[in-house]
Amino acid sequence: MTAEGKAAAPERGRLRREWALTALACTASATLLAAVVAGIPQSQPSAVGQAGVATVTVTDTACGAQLPQQPTGLRSFVVENSGSAPQEVYLVAMPAVGSVVRTIVLGPGTSVPLSAVLGPGQYAFQCLLGGQEQGRSPEFTVAGPVPEGANPGIAETFTGELQKADNLYLKYVDHVLEQLDADLGTLSASLASGDRGRAQSDWLTARREWSLLGAAYGSFGDLGESIAGSPDASLGAADPNFKGLLRIEHGLWHGESPESLVPLADAARADVAALSAQAPTLVVQKGSLPLRAHEILEDTLRDQLSGQADQGAGMALAITASDVSVTRTVVTDLAASLDSRRPGFTDEVAAGLDAIDAALAPLHDGDSWTRLQDASPAQRRQVNAAVSAALEVLADIPQLLILPQGSE
């Protein structure tokens, strides 16, 4: 996906999840096992049904009642919100070790299952409703031998902790925009020369540079859409608002004269300059960077490697390599927070990204890339499999670094 136009393939940027999307929309990862949710403190007593699944009922005034002692190992709960407002519920290890399982928001009158592998110790449910005091259930005991693969308590994340990563990423954005400005100047000159082959090569350089802004898509507003937005699905290239890098791509690979595309390149360069001027005041939506660390390659798999975002160049594999690069950057910026919660986690991520690069290696010779449609089915399967495997690991990042509802 492009940095700004990444999710817009069939239905333009309107369906794109914005950078401002919070981690409340995250699903629980396979590693952290499962989901839960919301509320703040008790009403009906918690109970253990015949199947051994404990029900935890939360309301506007209580966070579940006392649970009986539980055995170690895989434990399952159902959290019910009988309150009047959406809430979040965390299963936490005590005393204040951290969350064992993170949550999505649970609406009034709804319920959700929660599962985790629990070791011996004391646990409680913590309930959070934005703008109110945290609620907490009475502690309950888990007794028995230490099970294999027990879920550790994960320290709560605070906005200030993520600010350093946000600042590092914003400096990176400024550098990429500076390089993109130069790349667009080169592209404009090659288009003016009428040399289609040279212009296509320079277009790819600029297009890949734009992809290096992958974690910032959605934050650039109309400028981003102008630089690299996709056309309206019903209009295609006839869309009067379709311009920028993808419109240039369409022209270069559909027989339009290179010279006729110069105004598009110049306009894109002017938009990049305007974006660069805004960069010092660009604000990162709190908690969004961990979400984007996963979404970049998720969108790559959906939009690029499917061919949906292609406007004729067929350079999805080259763009994928750039998306891997920016994912590395985001994970590096978040590394201290990630590894403090799961030692060695970023090494695991790096191994997954290395596997994608290895799958891409036979598909290019320097800056010369195989078109997606020219790669063999086996090669495409290998790339898709490597991206999918990396996403399984990256999916844990939003859960490890999710911000509680209403956090400042």
Residue 13 confidence (pLDDT):
30
Of the candidates 360, 328, 359, the one whose C-alpha atom is nearest the C-alpha of residue 346 is: 328
Strands (DSSP E) contained in 37-156 are 47-48, 54-58, 70-71, 73-81, 88-94, 98-101, 111-118, 121-128, 135-136, 140-143
Residue 321 confidence (pLDDT):
98
Contact (Cβ atoms closer than 8 angstroms) between residue 288 and residue 26: no
CA distances (Å), 241 to each of 237, 256, 260, 267, 393, in order?
9, 18, 17, 13, 38
Instruction: Retrieve residue 245's tokens.
Output: 């890098």
pLDDT, tens digit only, all 408 positions of the chain:
444 343 333 332 322 232 222 222 333 332 332 333 222 333 333 444 334 788 999 998 888 888 999 999 999 999 999 988 888 888 888 876 667 776 567 888 898 888 888 999 999 998 877 556 568 899 999 999 989 877 777 777 777 788 889 889 989 999 999 999 999 999 999 999 999 999 999 999 999 999 999 866 566 778 888 898 888 878 888 888 899 999 999 999 999 999 999 999 999 999 999 999 987 777 667 778 888 898 899 989 999 999 989 999 999 999 999 999 999 999 999 999 999 888 899 999 999 999 999 999 999 999 999 999 999 999 999 999 999 999 989 988 987 887 654 454
Cα angle value 159/160/165 (rounded, 5°)? 90
Q: What is the rounded end-to-end Cα distance, in angstroms, of the chain?
A: 31
Residue 14 confidence (pLDDT):
25
What CA–CA distance (Å, rounded) separates 38 from 82?
Answer: 10
Domains, in order of start, for the chain: 33-143 (2.60.40.420), 159-400 (1.20.1420.20)
Q: Is the pTM higher than 0.85?
A: no
Site of tokens 């090669």: 379
Residue 318 confidence (pLDDT):
98
**Torsion angle of the four alpha carbons 250, 253, 257, 263, in this order, in degrees rounded to the nearest 10:** 30
Cis peptide before 280 (omega within 30 of 0): no
Alpha helices in 88-243 (DSSP H): 159-193, 196-211, 221-228
